[in-house]
């Protein structure tokens, strides 16, 4: 652990070195031009986890996991908001990954090349799914200084190509330099684990185009079959310089720097209000209020009770949750999510028995991940609202359960858009700036000012991305 913390601290002096092509046009004598692969592995695996959280800290409002404690919050109500910090973090990470891939290729390390491809694919997907089109093919070449944008579909195809290339590289067993176990903060240097994650992300990506004529459930299921087989396979990152950033949100809120309030949509989804069934996972996500109840905040409306914010009479992100405690891992993609991907693809393919088995297994896996007691788990699953039977299983059932499984994960927004926000009880935020649900965000101000010649014009934030049509 001391080595990892020292490495991450050291990387603050050169972690941006690969970004000079796109972000930093001046030579910095304090930057290291050719950092060792092991150091790049530490910084990029950490950034991948942190960037997942950064994006989710925005998209969790769109899917109504979170709600602003004050009325009319900009993200809450779909206003055009500047996410320059998130954009920069994603591109800085991609620059480091590009450096790692280049150096690994020069040193004949198929394992490092493969891992770089997988994480690059993930970051390209985060940019494409959040903003739409973005610079990639020209972004890290050194020329031009204002790179052109790849289209939304090109971003998707690039991410898929990177995953396929990563799968090829990770399938090799003769890498000249093996992954460093102590510097790999996601999979501990295990090549086979990264290969499974590449397939899990591929299944996720292939499933994301469910609205397109090109959607192929058989291809999704093939990727699933080569991915995760248990919770032990999950891609997650739990090494921090201080603590899990969600835990910092919870601590800030306790100190009345208000943040991390849970939406009424999520709370009512879990507490029995929406479905007439109490979901025991709520006890592993948040703490009861001072009145011993579960109360969420309506998006756009602010404090639900009107009481002073020092009165803990609504629900927040909790330090007691295995997902948001100080040392909790940031989840990138999980076995439980993969089982729900399998359930959806199998159902769309007409394989009802397989779909139903995967659906139930996904619930069980998520319950186990959260530490729900077996008796509470079995009671929930046995209820006819959940155990609907293979013949009656619907996409709505799958999306209902997956909504809980992807709590605080940016993939939840992709699902909400694919599902056209048809979650039971889902409503527009109070005083929403759009007449319908949000489907994208605006380009950040720093990108507009620095690369405005290439930033594409966009319409309202309710316009869908290419895969959402």
Q: How far is CA 374 from CA 53, 301, 384, in A?
A: 29, 37, 18
pLDDT in tens, 271-324: 999 999 999 999 999 999 999 999 999 999 998 877 677 788 999 999 999 999
Give pLDDT, residue 35. Answer: 83
> Quick check: 321 and 340 in contact, CB under 8 A?
no
The whole-number average pLDDT for the span 53-63 is 98
CB neighbour burial string for 421-443, b if at least 16 within 10 angstroms, e if fewer: bebeebebbeebbbeebbbbbbb
The pTM assigned to this predicted structure is 0.94
What would the two tokens of residue 425 be? 């009880």
- Mean pLDDT lowest among 34-38, 130-134, 226-230: 34-38
The whole-number average pLDDT for the span 152-169 is 98
Alpha-carbon torsion angle 56, 204, 227, 388, nearest 10:
100
The whole-number average pLDDT for the span 102-109 is 97
pLDDT at residue 29 tops 70: no
Nearest-angstrom CA–CA distance, 438 and 468: 12
Average pLDDT across the chain, whole number: 93
**If pLDDT is split at 50, 70 and 90, which confidence band does 369 have?**
very high
Q: Which residue has the tokens 């620059």?
A: 95
Nearest-angstrom CA–CA distance, 166 and 170: 6
Encode the chain in three state secondary structure: CHHHHHHHHHHCCCCCHHHCCCCCCCCCCCCCCCCCHHHHHHHHHHHHHHHHHHHHHHHHHHCCCECCCCCCCCCCCCCCCCCHHHHHHHHHHHHHHHHHHHHHHHCCCHHHHHHHHHHHHHHHHHHHHHCCCECCCCCCCCCCCCCCCECHHHHHHHHHHHHHHHHHHHCCCCCCCCCCCCCCCCCCCCHHHHHHHHHHHHHHHHHHCCCCCCCCHHHHHHHHHCCCCCHHHCEEECCCCCCCHHHHHHHHHHCCCCCCEEEHHHHHHHHCCCCCCCCHHHHHCCCCCCCCCCCCECCCCCCCCCCCCCCCCCCECCCCCCCCCCCCCEEEECHHHHHHHHHHHHHHCCCHHHHHHHHHHHHHHHHHHHCCCHHHHHHHHHCCCCCCCHHHCCHHHHHHHHHHHCCCCCHHHHHHHHCCCCCCCCCCCCCCCCCCCCCCCCCCHHHHHHHCCCCCCCCCCCCCCHHHC
The whole-number average pLDDT for the span 346-374 is 98
The whole-number average pLDDT for the span 432-453 is 96
Give pLDDT, residue 3. Answer: 46
In the chain, the percentage of residues whose pLDDT exceeds 90 is 89
pLDDT at residue 326 tops 90: yes
Nearest-angstrom CA–CA distance, 330 and 194: 16
Nearest to 117, CA basis, from 153, 161, 180: 161
Give pLDDT, residue 141. Answer: 87
Give pLDDT, residue 142. Answer: 80
- The residue ranking higher by pLDDT, 1 or 114, is 114
pLDDT at residue 23 tops 70: no
Give pLDDT, residue 405. Answer: 98
> Quick check: 350 and 396 in contact, CB under 8 A?
no
> Quick check: 7 and 148 in contact, CB under 8 A?
no
pLDDT at residue 13 tops 70: no
Give pLDDT, residue 33. Answer: 63
Q: How far is CA 231 from CA 185, 203, 345, in A?
A: 17, 17, 20
Give pLDDT, residue 32. Answer: 56
């Amino acid at each position: 652990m001391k080595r990892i913390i020292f490495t991450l601290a050291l990387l603050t002096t050169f972690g941006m070195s690969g970004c000079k092509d796109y972000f930093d046009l001046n030579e910095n004598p304090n930057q290291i031009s050719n950092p060792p692969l092991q150091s790049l592995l530490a910084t990029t695996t950490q950034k991948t986890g942190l960037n997942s959280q950064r994006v989710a800290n925005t998209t969790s409002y769109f899917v109504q996991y979170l709600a602003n404690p004050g009325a009319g919050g900009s993200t809450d109500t779909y206003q055009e908001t500047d996410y320059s910090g998130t954009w920069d973090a994603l591109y800085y990470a991609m620059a480091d990954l590009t450096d790692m891939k280049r150096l690994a290729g020069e040193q004949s390390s198929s394992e490092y090349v493969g891992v770089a491809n997988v994480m690059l694919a993930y970051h390209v997907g985060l940019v494409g799914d959040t903003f739409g089109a973005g610079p990639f093919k020209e972004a890290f070449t050194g020329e031009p200084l204002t790179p052109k944008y790849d289209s939304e579909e090109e971003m998707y195809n690039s991410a898929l190509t990177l995953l396929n290339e990563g799968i090829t590289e990770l399938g090799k067993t003769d890498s000249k330099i093996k992954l460093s176990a102590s510097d790999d903060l996601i999979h501990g240097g295990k090549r086979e684990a990264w290969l499974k994650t590449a397939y899990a992300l591929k299944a996720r990506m292939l499933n994301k185009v469910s609205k397109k004529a090109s959607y192929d459930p058989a291809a999704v299921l093939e990727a699933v079959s080569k991915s995760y087989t248990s919770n032990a396979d999950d891609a997650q990152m739990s090494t921090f310089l201080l603590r899990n950033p969600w835990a910092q949100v919870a601590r800030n809120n306790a100190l009345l720097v208000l943040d991390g309030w849970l939406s009424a949509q999520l709370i009512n989804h879990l507490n029995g209000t929406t479905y007439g069934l109490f979901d025991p996972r709520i006890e592993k996500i948040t703490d009861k209020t001072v009145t011993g109840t579960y109360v969420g905040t309506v998006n756009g409306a602010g404090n639900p009770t009107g009481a002073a914010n020092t009165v803990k009479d609504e629900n927040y992100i909790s330090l007691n949750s295995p997902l948001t405690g100080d040392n909790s891992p940031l989840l990138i993609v999980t076995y439980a999510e993969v089982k729900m991907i399998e359930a959806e693809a199998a159902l769309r393919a007409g394989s009802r028995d397989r779909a139903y088995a995967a659906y139930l297994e996904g619930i069980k896996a998520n319950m186990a991940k959260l530490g729900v007691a077996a008796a509470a788990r079995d009671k929930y699953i046995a209820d006819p609202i959940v155990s609907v039977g293979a013949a009656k299983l619907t996409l709505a059932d799958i999306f209902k359960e997956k909504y809980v499984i992807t709590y605080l994960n940016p993939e939840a927004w992709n699902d909400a858009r694919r599902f056209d926000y048809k979650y039971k009880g889902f409503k527009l935020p109070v005083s929403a700036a759009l007449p319908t649900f949000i489907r994208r965000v605006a380009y950040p101000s720093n990108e507009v000012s620095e690369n405005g010649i290439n930033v594409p014009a966009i319409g309202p934030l309710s316009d869908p991305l290419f895969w959402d049509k």
